[in-house]
Homo-oligomer: A and B are copies of this chain.
Amino acid sequence: MRFFSDNAAPVHPAVMRALAEVDTLDTAYDGDRWSKQLDARLSETFETEVRAFWVPSGTAANCLALAAICPPHGSVVCHRDAHIQNDECGAPEFYTHGAKLLLAHGDGAKVTPETLEAVLNVQRYDIHQQVPSAISITNQTEYGLAYSADEVAAIGAVARARGLHFHVDGARFANAVVATGASPADLTWRGGVDVLSFGFVKNGGMNAEALVFFRPELADATVFRRKRAGLLLSKGRYLAAQVLAMLDQDLWLDCARASNAGAQLIAAAAGERLIYPADGNEVFLRVTAHEAASLRAKGFDFYDWGAGEARLVVSWDQRADDIRLLAEAIAAL
């Protein structure tokens, strides 16, 4: 019974069906009839006109976004536990040609206006430093927390006041939407977000994420950057189809509801062991090495997350029985 990563889950059957449906002749790159639907379909989802791109990875989405909003001599403020800082092997630096990440604090990988200001206020804003150009947050965060629409808007207000762009790494954006009950629009552009990495792969997709610009003019160079990075796949319809299938009848929300619900069952059983509230589909627990071993002995797979901590991730397809058994096993520790 694996709870180590939503990356490890299989692909949703609806996505597999969609791949079969596009498995026919069409124009290469993104000239096909499915790729052309992305802008309109995502504009519906977000209740505003967006410009959208399929890309094959979340890192690609994040870094194309950052390249669009930060020059090489600029800097991006993010949390010190952000995926872009710790888990992308310098892809932000590669795509931006050397912009700098400025690291903010905050519980559960969540920045606040205060922790952002603390970073921004010590910059000198002269030519000897890389000028802050953008803020990037992850929603749901790397520790399973969701920013509410109000929290997003508060950060958006900092960005607006400072003349900064605002990016959201939404590798688990679906889980944040479900967790907060906010609309996709409320969690993004209504709160000042300029560009979103909209993740599907952890939520039932195979290898397609969407990069969504709420300010279309920011996307002009992205068409070149995507090509130039080897990310403009020649049979793009197989990526477009995945995104469309996930959006169809809000499958993306159904999948996130399932994984969030599973995580909440586990979190309820964990009680005092919880390190952070399990807003979405991830549960972080305090466990001794002995306790971790005993859970593993019962067949549960998960990652240690620093000393005395375990990360348990629920996937869209996690079996109810496995979730129940895990909850019981944690309660019994």
Residue A151 CB within 8 A of the other chain: no
The 8 closest A-B pairs by CB, nearest first: A60-B230, A93-B98, A7-B28, A73-B224, A59-B230, A7-B234, A89-B227, A89-B228
Residue A97 CB within 8 A of the other chain: yes
With A and B bound together, what is the CA distance between A93 and B56 in angstroms? 21
- Write the chain B residue with the least CB distance to A58: B234
Contact B28 A225 (CB under 8 A): no
Contact of A10 among B25, B64, B100 (CB under 8 A): B25
| Chain B hits for A98, CB < 8 A | 90, 93-94, 96-98
Residue A297 CB within 8 A of the other chain: no
Q: Which residues of A contact B (CB under 8 A)?
A: 2, 5, 7-11, 16, 19-20, 23-29, 55-64, 71-73, 75, 86-91, 93-101, 124, 127-131, 201-202, 206-207, 221, 223-225, 227-235, 238-239
Contact B100 A73 (CB under 8 A): no
Contact of A72 among B11, B56, B63, B97 (CB under 8 A): B97
Q: When A23-B10, A91-B228, A230-B229 are in contact, do A206 and B238 touch as well, CB less than 8 Å? A: yes
With A and B bound together, what is the CA distance between A64 and B72 in angstroms? 14
| Chain B hits for A63, CB < 8 A | 230
Contact A100 B94 (CB under 8 A): no
Contact B128 A227 (CB under 8 A): yes
Contact A73 B19 (CB under 8 A): no
5 other contacts beyond A59-B232, A62-B230, with CB at 8 A cut-off?
A: A56-B231, A89-B130, A90-B99, A93-B93, A93-B99
With A and B bound together, what is the CA distance between A224 and B55 in angstroms? 19
With A and B bound together, what is the CA distance between A62 and B97 in angstroms? 19
| Chain B hits for A58, CB < 8 A | 234
Contact A72 B94 (CB under 8 A): yes
Contact A224 B94 (CB under 8 A): no
Contact B100 A202 (CB under 8 A): no
Contact A55 B91 (CB under 8 A): no
With A and B bound together, what is the CA distance between A206 and B202 in angstroms? 20
| Chain B hits for A128, CB < 8 A | 86-89, 227
| Chain B hits for A235, CB < 8 A | 7, 11, 201, 206-207
Contact B207 A233 (CB under 8 A): yes
In angstroms, how far is the closest chain B Cβ from the Cβ of A56?
5
| Chain B hits for A91, CB < 8 A | 227-230
In angstroms, how far is the closest chain B Cβ from the Cβ of A52?
16
